[in-house]
């Protein structure tokens, strides 16, 4: 099946710094990628949808200047958490879909802890 | 707006069948999905059903869809300890490129 990877799998950073998370589709071209965040024991909340080569569409309440999303190629999307604060600590999960695929494939997630 | 709801917790004995229920409000949902999430991991797609289907079976998994009542269920036959996880139902409209709306997840605990 289609494989999606994320890097890093976990990261600890200091408050005020920026962190970049990568999401890669390893064996298919991802025309659309999605970024979710998940708080402990809660469901996934969609943050934004990105289509290759165009600006991401953010969900209501998600600050686009704080969560920068780049989808510059058909196999890579990045999420940069700028000026991170402890409340940004969460599990960030990406998913990807391609034109020929019927479902989204999820990455393993990245656990971000901001101290 | 869209809303997907699930019960929070299910406890089942090993070897028994598990039934996880989900309700949704958006009648224009096209695809309905079941995902499994193990601790600290991403989501694994278990199965999905198109909205014009009533049932889909895949090995130990059976999905039932009652479109009139907007009710979706996942039955796991012969539940194993490895089935302990959180199960999310989700809906989308149209193709895989459309966003998913997730339920809150059902934590399934399988007791030996």
Whether A90 has a pLDDT exceeding 90, the answer reads yes
Touching check for B104 and chain A: CB below 8 Å? yes
The SS3 assignment for B100 reads: coil
Touching check for A97 and chain B: CB below 8 Å? yes
Encode pLDDT of A36-49 as tens digits.
999 888 889 999 99
Q: Cα(B71)–Cα(B20) distance, rounded to whole angstroms?
A: 11
Whether A26 has a pLDDT exceeding 90, the answer reads yes
Of A6, A42, A97, the CB nearest to B97: A97
The SS3 assignment for B75 reads: strand
The SS3 assignment for B57 reads: strand
Whether B2 has a pLDDT exceeding 70, the answer reads no
Left (φ > 0), alpha (ψ -120 to 50) or beta: where does A99 sit? alpha
Encode pLDDT of B70-99 as tens digits.
999 999 999 999 999 999 999 988 765 678
User: Which residues, in sequence order, are CB contacts of A84 under 8 Å at separation 6+?
Assistant: A13, A15, A16, A17, A18, A19, A112, A114
Encode pLDDT of A38-77 as tens digits.
988 888 999 999 988 888 999 999 999 999 999 889 999 9
User: Which residues, in sequence order, are CB contacts of A55 under 8 Å at separation 6+?
Assistant: none
Q: How far is A62 from chain B (nearest CA, A)?
A: 15
Of B42, B95, B104, the CB nearest to A108: B42
User: Which residues, in sequence order, are CB contacts of A61 under 8 Å at separation 6+?
Assistant: none
């Amino acid at each position: 099946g289609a494989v999606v990877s994320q890097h890093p799998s976990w990261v600890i950073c200091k408050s005020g710094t920026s962190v970049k998370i990568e999401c890669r589709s390893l064996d298919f071209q991802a025309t659309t990628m999605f970024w979710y965040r998940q708080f402990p024991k809660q469901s996934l909340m969609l943050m934004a949808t990105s289509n290759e080569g165009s600006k991401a569409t953010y969900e209501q309440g998600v600050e686009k200047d704080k969560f920068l999303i780049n989808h510059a190629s058909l196999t890579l999307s990045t999420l940069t958490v700028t000026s991170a604060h402890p409340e940004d600590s969460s599990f960030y999960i990406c998913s990807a879909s391609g034109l020929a695929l019927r479902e989204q494939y999820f990455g393993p997630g990245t656990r971000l802890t901001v101290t | 707006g869209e809303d997907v709801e699930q019960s929070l917790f299910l406890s089942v004995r090993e070897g028994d069948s598990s039934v996880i229920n989900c309700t949704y409000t958006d009648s224009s949902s096209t695809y309905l999905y079941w995902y499994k999430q193990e601790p600290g991991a991403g989501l694994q797609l278990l199965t999905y059903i198109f909205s014009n289907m009533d049932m889909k079976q895949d090995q130990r998994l059976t999905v039932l869809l009652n479109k009139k009542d907007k009710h979706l269920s996942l039955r796991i036959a012969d539940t194993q300890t490895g089935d302990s996880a959180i199960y999310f139902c989700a809906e989308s409209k149209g193709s895989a490129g459309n966003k998913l709306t997730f339920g809150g997840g059902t934590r399934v605990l399988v007791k030996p």
